[in-house]
Copies of this chain bind each other. A is one copy, B any other.
Amino acid sequence: MNASLPPETQLRATREGAVLTLSLDGPQTRNSISPPVYRALQAQVIAAGEDPGVRAIVLNGLHGFFSSGGNIHNLKASAQSTLAEVSANPDALNAMILALRACPTPIIAAVEGGAAGAGLSLALACDMIVAAEGAKFVVAYVKVGLAPDGGVTHFLTDALPRQMVAEMCLTGDPVTADRLHALGLVNAVVPEGDALAEAQTRAARLAAGAAQAQSVIKHEINAAPHNDLATHLVLEARGINSARFGLEAAEGLAAFLEKRKPDFVGKGRP
């Protein structure tokens, strides 16, 4: 460890109503991420998923950028480490990524400025992405002689044609928020500076929704790429048959027939 290295990025948590906002705060490194952040974010996401008071999560970066990914200083220093020491890094990264996907609560990434390297993996592990105009999405790794990690080749291959994935990964060149919005990977592009507010507005709407049904949906979307159609139809049938007898469906169907807004809070996951 070198005393002159910039300080580690911190994770800030704020709560407004049922929306939890988790913010990366590393002003000197454009919110670079490393094992301490991985572990903090994983813990926050697991706790939020178990907290009935948290009904939607927003993840963003402070200082006008989402995250630059792994800290280059750390990465360079790691070439002096043992393989065992180095392995702790992807283990913690992967545990965080899997926790984001396994979390029953919807998670929206608010991407201001850009997301690069493991920062892009992190954004893609969220359920939805709101981006500011001009934000850049950069696989980056190959530019410094590294192969990608954190699931980015998996997430991109799931979402985009292989030709575009190959270009992003083999060149490391940036892609704009507008281009990814046109392709359906970015959910909304908003004026610079507005990504967090837009993500929080969307999160508040999700937080007023049917939380139990949303958690079933996240599970189904996670499972879909690996199920054949017949298997997935059975999974969906189980999901709706279970939901059908729940308090959320009772409220939702009654509200629909009574032409009023449903009140789902407290009727879903305990």
Contact = CB atoms under 8 A, between A and B. Distances in A.
Interface stretch (A11-19, A27-35, A228-236): A228-236
A146 to B, nearest CB: 5
A132 interface: no
A215 B216 CA distance: 35
Given A163-B127, A213-B141, A150 B233 contact: yes
Interface string A148-159: 111111110111
A41 interface: no
Given A163-B185, A214-B142, A225 B157 contact: yes
Copies in the complex: 3
Interface residues of A, number: 103
A244 to B, nearest CB: 6
A27 to B, nearest CB: 19
Contacts of A250: 79, 145
Contacts of A184: 160-161, 163-164, 183
Given A86-B244, A229-B98, A244-B79, A237 B149 contact: yes
Interface of A: 72-73, 75-76, 78-79, 83, 86-87, 90-91, 93-94, 97-98, 101, 106, 127-129, 141-155, 157-167, 169-172, 182-187, 205-206, 209-210, 212-214, 216-218, 220-222, 224-230, 232-234, 236-237, 239-257, 262, 264, 267
